Chains A and B, each alone.
Chain A
Amino acid sequence: MTPQAKMTAFNTIVLREIRRFTRIWPQTLLPPAVTMTLYFIIFGNLIGSRIGDMGGFDYMSFIVPGLIMMAVITSSYANVVSSFFSMKFQRSIEELLVSPVPDWIILAGYVCGGMARGLGIGFIVTLLSLGFTRLEIHNLPMVVVTVFLTSALFALGGFINAMLATKFDDISIVPTFVLTPLTYLGGVFYSINMLPEFWQGVSMINPILYMVNAFRFGILGVSDVNPFVALGMILVFITLLSAVALRMLQRGKGIRH
């Protein structure tokens, strides 16, 4: 394939993914918007007003970056895992496998498709948050880099989950039992400085803590961890997961007999 043909194939995969999640927007775009609005109302307004400051900011301002990141993480992951597994399930993945599209373009296409949904949701949630608080960006490059890399990382995670999944249950196990707890315990709703020392140590092994805090640093200028260490970690994980996903694609794990 010529570079131009590869670009066309890549665009085709990404546009197909965007067409898919916009076609079923009541399942993909609406629920996180509703959920996050409820978080803003209940945790931010009703409960938050009684909590007082956190990290030097009112509680609503403190949780907004975390909630945006939570929406980006879950949507990026969910898009790829459900789309790719559905293709496996319906065997329409064979359309791609018989075509000359290189494996790395298949991976890049799906990851970018997941990022499109994750970042789209992030944008929607950010707009919604403006109805509850003022957002002053402390470090725009940090915000942009963190949200893009985090979205890419979780889209990759969704891809690997879809490759390994053999039934629909398998694509809900990781989001329910791994992603959600890690996100809730990743400093979305609190600063880990509030925790006893032991639990602060435990929290430091949660990768989502680093992403939430790097993003919070970009918006508020405060973080429980060094944001540059967080970016480095995300890059290492992206490299690692990309290599694993590509290897699985080349071997045809779960998609070729």
Chain B
Amino acid sequence: MTNALEIGGLIKTYGDGFQALKGIDMNVREGDFFALLGPNGAGKSTTLGIVSSLVNKTAGTVRVFGHDIDTSLSDAKLHLGVVPQEFNFNQFEKVFDIVTTQAGYYGIPMKKAKVSAEKYLRKLGLWDKKDTPARMLSGGMKRRLMIARALVHEPKLLILDEPTAGVDIELRRSMWTFLEEMNRQGTTIILTTHYLEEAEALCRNIAIIDHGRILKHTSKRELLQQLHVETFVLDTESPLASAPALADFPCRLDGEGALEIDVEKGQGLNRVFVQLEALGIKVVSMRTKANRLEELFIRMVEENANEGAAPVSAGGAV
């Protein structure tokens, strides 16, 4: 299978001398749903900015479906759809005009552009707003407009920089469903997000970046296997006055009276329930606490900070 994106030795030094990227190597396979994660200022947006030609690189190579941005930029761009972090459309233009104009920039004749614009505006629930000036849209609608605009030329690689920032939960979930559907239909997706729950729910492969270096570049499954302790939250039938003493399983009550139990990898949950049964505690429901990826992410970034931003792992191609 070919790579949708190949990045090699990517360096970016800004005019003031700040080195935002210190030699990034990253590959994303065709058809992948890929997350680029990192704290603020880690280099995520700079990386994606270089891929989408909004930022000039200092050194390194970038190939989009085999097209080098140094030698065949136009071909590389044809395969690319970009949803930036901040709203970047003309606030005074109408929704339909924004999307069809973008299609025109890709050389799509107006007749076809109108069909494609209608398709994506309908899919994203914006068709009834097609004649509305963009400034009149809600924040969530503006985000969806940017997705429709990025898809109007049907790119093979879709890059989304914080696509669900500031979007309510219901809309976020519907955007997830939409993106999963696009991915199932063959669009390779790369996203950056601060909601690690989002990355865990959607992505198959992940790169973690910090201080301009890739800390980890692997599959989500492999990454999560590195998590040795998982915390489960148990709701009990009767409220507990205090956390019970369980052999080998540290536990405590959370703020709402639910029981949090830390379970190490390989311990299994059966012994937890046997002990709770013996204590007469009846469990009515159970869930994992927060998301596991978040724990890993925080741990890696902290380790990286403690090691003076030295790379933990160069990471292999996924």
Residues of A within 8 A of B (CB): 1-2, 4-6, 8-9, 11-13, 15-16, 19, 23, 86-87, 90-92, 94-102, 252, 256-257
DSSP majority for the A interface? helix
Residue of B nearest to A86 (CB): B90
Known contacts A91-B84, A91-B86; 6 additional CB pairs below 8 A are: A12-B101, A91-B88, A94-B84, A94-B88, A95-B89, A257-B54
**A19, B97: Cβ atoms under 8 Å?**
yes
- Can you name 10 A-B pairs with beta carbons within 8 Å? A4-B107, A9-B105, A15-B104, A86-B90, A91-B84, A92-B89, A98-B53, A99-B105, A100-B77, A256-B54
Contact, CB under 8 Å: B56 / A257: yes
B115 CB within 8 Å of chain A: no
* 0/1 string, B49-80, CB within 8 A of A gives 1: 10011111000000000000000011101101
Pick from A6, A95, A99: contact of B88, CB below 8 A.
A95
Smallest CB gap from B150: residue in A: A98
- Mark each residue of chain B from 73 to 110: 1 if its CB lies under 8 Å from any CB of chain A, else 0: 11101101010101111111000010001101111111
Instruction: Check B149 for interface membership: any CB of A closer than 8 A.
Output: yes
Q: Does B14 count as interface, using CB distance less than 8 angstroms?
A: yes
Q: Are A96 and B107 in contact (CB under 8 A)?
A: no
Interface pair B102/A95, CB less than 8 Å apart: yes
| Bound-state Cα–Cα, A6 to B149, Å | 19
Give the Cβ gap from A6 to chain B, nearest Cβ, in Å. 7
Q: In the complex, which of the residues B73, B97, B107, B110 contacts A6, with contact meaning CB atoms closer than 8 Å?
A: B107
Q: Tell me which residues across on chain A come within 8 A of B54, comparing CB atoms.
A: 94, 97-98, 256-257
List B residues at the A interface (Cβ < 8 Å): 14, 49, 52-56, 73-75, 77-78, 80, 82, 84, 86-92, 97, 101-102, 104-110, 149
Rounded to whole angstroms, the CA-CA distance of A16 and B55 in the bound complex is 25
Which chain B residues border A19 with CB–CB below 8 Å?
Answer: 97
From A2, A19, A23, A99, residue with most partner B Cβ within 10 Å: A99
Which residues of A have CB within 8 Å of B109?
A: 8
A95 touches B105 (CB 8 A): yes
Query: Which residues on B sit within 8 Å (CB–CB) of A98?
Result: 52-54, 77, 80, 82
Report chain A residues within 8 Å CB of B49: 257
Q: Does A16 lie within 8 Å of B56, measured CB to CB?
A: no
Central interface residue in A2, A6, A94, A252, by most chain B CB within 10 Å: A94
Known A-B contacts A8-B109, A12-B104; A256 and B88 likewise in contact (beta carbons under 8 Å)? no
Please indicate the chain B residues that have their CB under 8 angstroms from the CB of A92 in the complex.
88-90
**Nearest chain A CB to B81 CB, angstrom units:** 8
Q: Check if A8 sits within 8 Å of B89, measured CB to CB.
A: no
